[in-house]
Structure 1
Amino acid sequence: MFRTKLLIGFGALALMGQTTPTPDPHRPTPTFDSVAPTLPALERPAVLIFSKTNGWRHDSIPATVAAVEKLVRARGWSSYATENAAVFNPAQLARFDVIVFASATGDMFTPDQRAAFEEYLASGRGFVALHGGGDGSHPGWYQQILGTGGSYTGHPGGADQFQTSDLIVDRNHPATRHLSPRWRWTEEYYAWTAPPRADVHVLARLDETGMRLEPKHRMGDHHALIWWRCEGKARIFYSALGHDPESWSEPAHVALVDGAIGWAARKRGTGCD
């Protein structure tokens, strides 16, 4: 009887034109992890590549992870890539020298996992956030660590989503030393209501001249896109670049991320002593 009623119910929905909605791969159902993964043997230095998405899921994540893995391997270091936030526990985080957020988005951590992340940073380790790792889906405590100074206002959409312009570069950092003072780049350019925090060191800002931007996406001469700061003794680095998978095969961009990882691991550069 129950099976008959169930079939009738589904038949009625079909007759009414109602179907089960197709899940949006860019908007996964948020989840929280409780069982930590089993880590492989890791030689130091070691990099944790984290790409969990409780917010928007970027198509570039596989390319980002692969590019970072290749960079780490070229250094002779170890890496471990995961989307399991339960790896954020004191024992396992202690095995890593740098954490890289590969467009990880959303509110991803339980209170204990957040505490483990903050303790990791308090120990003076390194953190690199890439593209979606700095969008508006993250909670306020994380935005403070990253150095965001205002609310995220998004990026241009439609035909104007991707635009080419110059980035004005400060080359006095291992991540940007190889770039020209004006670096031509195509991107979906993030924007915020205010520049980064006062303790942030801006490495690249957008030249908005000639761009098609709504007022909410204009920041004038303070449109920072790449920066670093200190959270205590921890080295924090953020780059808003990297939306397109193709950008992860661009040598200049990949070299920027390589320099950021080396700096965060305290192998090059100064700061946060």
Structure 2
Amino acid sequence: MKLSKKLSCLGLLLVSLCQTAIAEQFNVLVFSKTAGWHHKSINAGVTALEKMAQNHHFSMDWQEDANLINSKNLAKFDVVLFLQTTGDALNDEQQKALEAFIQSGKGFVGVHSASDTEYDWPWYGKLVGRQFKIHPQIQTARLTVLDRKFPGLEYLPDSSLWTEEWYEFGAELSPNLNYILSVDESTYDPKVSWGDNHGKGMGKFHPIAWYQNYDGGRSFYTGLGHMGVSYENKAFIEHLYGGIYWAATGKGMTK
């Protein structure tokens, strides 16, 4: 083999080795289509997730085009993250693609109004775990950590004051939910009425974040993240990354 050809082959090998060495640890598709209420915090969330991807060395693609929720495109990703989605975001074919994605062992992350999405799709309701019912005005309340085993809670004390749009959720739609965070209803006023829709709180136990193994894959949901300023909060960002990391890899749990 001529020297020039040997050098060329060596160069290709080095490029291949370098690409392998710097490859991101996993790939995340951030999806933020809204068919109902549009949260202004979506852009702040995307900016924070882009920075998170750099800090934690994973790749991130942000899309609002539901046509990209197809089997061919989803094959490139390890996690689909629904960021502040609302309403009927996917058609029947796209729904089947997401189902197949989770059934293949991949992960889902839902943020805040991801629970205000796809009410007529039972599989999705079970994937998220609970559905949004109503919320009162934004208030400060006491947030409690329920499960220290789950990753990303290192910056949250056992109990702390937190300001949020506190969602009231309906009944459990999956029996597999493991709860991470809750809010103390005695520290804020949960009562609210929207016409015939009335909220009075969930009682002594009001969950805010949870995770589960579901239909062959993994699902993490957090009800935090309504306000744009939340995405500048280190404790929230690490909480969200813990969910992404676990959904992508199944790792991070402590004993």
Same fold by TM-score greater than 0.5: yes
In structure 2, distance between residues paired with 1:263 and 1:155: 28
Shift of residue 49 of structure 1?
A: 0.6
Q: 1:260 aligns with which of 243, 246, 249?
A: 243
What residue number does 1:147 align with? Answer: 129
- State the Cα distance separating 1:53 from its structure 2 match: 0.4
Across the aligned residues of Structure 1 and Structure 2, the Cα RMSD in angstroms comes to 2.0
Alignment equivalent of 1:49, drawn from 30, 41, 59:
30
Match of residue 181 from structure 1? 158
2:97 aligned to 108, 111, 116, which one?
Answer: 116
Distance 1:180 1:254 in 2: 14
Distance in 2 (CA, whole Å) between partners of 1:43 and 1:91 is 20
Equivalence map 1:59-98=2 (5 Å): 59-98=40-79
**What TM-score results when the alignment is normalised by the length of structure 1?**
0.77
AA at the equivalent of 1:200: L
Higher mean Cα deviation, 187-196 or 166-175?
A: 187-196
Higher mean alpha-carbon deviation, 170-179 vs 92-101, is at 170-179
Between the aligned partners of 1:195 and 1:121, the Cα distance in structure 2 is 20
What residue in structure 2 maps to residue 21 of structure 1? none
Partners of 2:160 and 2:133 in 1: CA distance: 24
Question: How far does the alpha carbon of each residue in 1:142-170 deviate from its partner, in whole angstroms, 9 at most, with x for none?
Answer: 1121111xx532100xxxx1111111212
Q: Cα 1:186–1:195, aligned 2, differ >3 Å: closer, same or farther? A: farther
Q: Deviations 1:71-122 (Å, cap 9, x if unpaired)?
A: 1122222111010011111111000011111101111112111110000000
Partner of 2:209: 226
Identity of aligned residues (%): 35
Residues 217 and 59 of structure 1: is their aligned pair in 2 closer, same or farther, counting only changes over 3 Å? farther
The 1-side partners of 2:211 and 2:101 are apart by: 18
Shift of 1:65: 1.1
Question: Shift of the alpha carbon at 1:252?
Answer: 0.5
CA–CA distance in structure 2, aligned partners of residues 195 and 218 of structure 1: 15
Query: Which aligned runs of 4 or more in structure 1 are off by greater than 4 angstroms?
Result: none
Aligned pair count reads 224
Residues in 1 aligned to 2:55 and 2:162: alpha-carbon distance in whole angstroms: 25
Mapped contact 1:106–1:139 kept (Cα < 8 A): no
Shift of 1:181: 1.2
- Tell me the TM-score normalized by structure 2: 0.82
- 1:241 Cα deviation after fit: 0.6
Q: Is the 8 A contact 1:195 1:223 kept in 2?
A: no
Deviation (angstroms), 1:195: 4.8
Which sections of structure 2, spanning at least 5 residues, go unmatched? 1-22, 192-197
Give the C-alpha shift of residue 255 in structure 1.
Answer: 0.8
What are structure 1's unaligned runs of at least 5 residues? 1-41
8 Å Cα contact 1:98/1:261 also seen in 2: yes
Contact 1:123 1:234 in 2 (8 A): yes
